[in-house]
Amino acid sequence: MTRRSRRALPATLTALVLLAASVLVAVSAIQLALGEAPLLSYDALAGRLHDTTWSAPEMAVASGVATAIGLVLLLVAVVPGRARTAPLDDRTAVSVRGLRNALRTAAHVDGVESAAVKVRRRRVKTVVRTRRSVPDGLGDAVRAALEQRVGELALARPPQVVVRVKALRSTP
């Protein structure tokens, strides 16, 4: 059970463009019904389109833009989004945010000042910072703590744990 991110931004932009076109047509129709000069003149638009040939440069540009927008929207719809959950088994999962927070907490072993964790599909990258002048063995301790926490969570596909240690400069 892997949930993917929603395509909220492309859907919102498409909806806003369609809404703007609908409002423009509705305002013009209401103005025509009231006997006023429409914001978008149907006669002028129809005359302009009637005079334009298929080989006109405007048509090539418009069709290119429409094709590019369509391909981008199709690509966004087909390519899977970033996983929002990590599967535990066939029916249960843990959120990637929750997994990251649990691993960040586990990375705080003795000597670790701060920890940054990035959870990806197959790998967990952790950068820990310490004030120790000689951080020997700290990376192994953090890796062991993280692997223990991953084991406790019993993920369906346990990720590889990568730890990098950065020693902070000591303040006088």
State pTM to two decimals. 0.59
pLDDT digits (tens, 9 = 90+) for 68-94: 999 998 888 888 777 778 888 778 888
Sequence length of the chain is 172
Closest CA to 120 of 104, 95, 96, 155: 96
Beta bridge partners, 160, equal 123
Question: Which domains does the chain show, CATH number per domain?
Answer: 8-78 (no CATH), 85-167 (3.30.70.1350)
Closest CA to 130 of 145, 111, 116, 117: 111
148: three-class secondary structure by DSSP: helix
pLDDT digits (tens, 9 = 90+) for 98-120: 989 999 999 988 888 899 999 98
d(CA 59, CA 66): 10
